[in-house]
């Protein structure tokens, strides 16, 4: 199995949430960045980010891990290519897929949280009633755990403030699958 890590970016994503994970992984694992269409996207803090790869051409078999930041995820929630890539990577034996903050909601949209324990921000007091109504259905299949980070069978979810813990959990999950 390839040891490559795919970083999935989208308009409004929050790079701050995955910077610790990228720093922890880049020494051991090659990192690739993908966006819908390989387009430049503007992060939630206004930085222009370039996807070296188009999600439409990503082969999930080429990756051992995928990382999804949080942010404004309404566009990727309904992007079939993003969901295809995430489910394809997660289906591989020994794979690790991580989502922090709203990135965990995107994992839920891909069906990866069904029957698993997970943490996510779609609960009071972190989410408004409107956010819970709109995004709640994507995480309904998960058993919510009130924890900074949750690891369940290769799926890593984390609160937005748990960036260092998220990074550590991804590294440990990858090492455990070696």
pTM of the model: 0.95
The DSSP output letter for 123 is S
Domains of the chain, first to last: 5-176 (3.40.50.880)
Are the beta carbons of 167 and 175 closer than 8 angstroms?
no
Q: Compute the distance between CA of residue 105 and CA of residue 135 in angstroms, rounded to an integer.
A: 7
The predicted-structure confidence for 18-74, as pLDDT tens digits, reads as follows 999 999 999 999 999 999 999 999 999 899 998 789 999 999 999 999 999 999 877
The predicted-structure confidence for 149-160, as pLDDT tens digits, reads as follows 999 999 999 999
Greatest distance between any 2 Cα atoms in the chain: 42
DSSP annotation string for 71-99: B--HHHHT-HHHHHHHHHHHTSTT-EEEE
């Amino acid at each position: 199995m390839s040891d490559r890590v795919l970083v999935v970016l989208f308009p409004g994503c929050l790079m701050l949430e995955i910077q610790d994970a990228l720093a922890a992984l880049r020494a051991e694992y090659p990192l690739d960045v993908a966006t819908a269409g390989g387009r430049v996207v503007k992060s939630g803090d206004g930085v222009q980010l370039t996807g070296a790869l188009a999600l439409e051409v990503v082969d999930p078999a080429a990756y051992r891990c995928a990382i999804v930041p949080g942010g404004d995820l309404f566009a990727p929630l309904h992007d079939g290519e993003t969901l295809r890539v995430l489910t394809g990577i997660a289906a591989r034996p020994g794979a690790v897929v991580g989502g922090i903050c709203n990135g965990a909601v995107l994992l839920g949209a891909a069906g990866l949280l069904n029957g698993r324990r997970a943490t996510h921000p779609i609960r009071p007091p972190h989410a408004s009633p409107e956010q819970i109504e709109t995004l709640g259905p994507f995480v309904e299949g998960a058993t919510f755990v009130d924890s900074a980070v949750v690891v369940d069978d290769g799926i890593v979810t984390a609160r937005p403030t748990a960036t260092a813990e998220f990074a550590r959990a991804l590294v440990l999950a990858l090492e455990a699958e070696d």
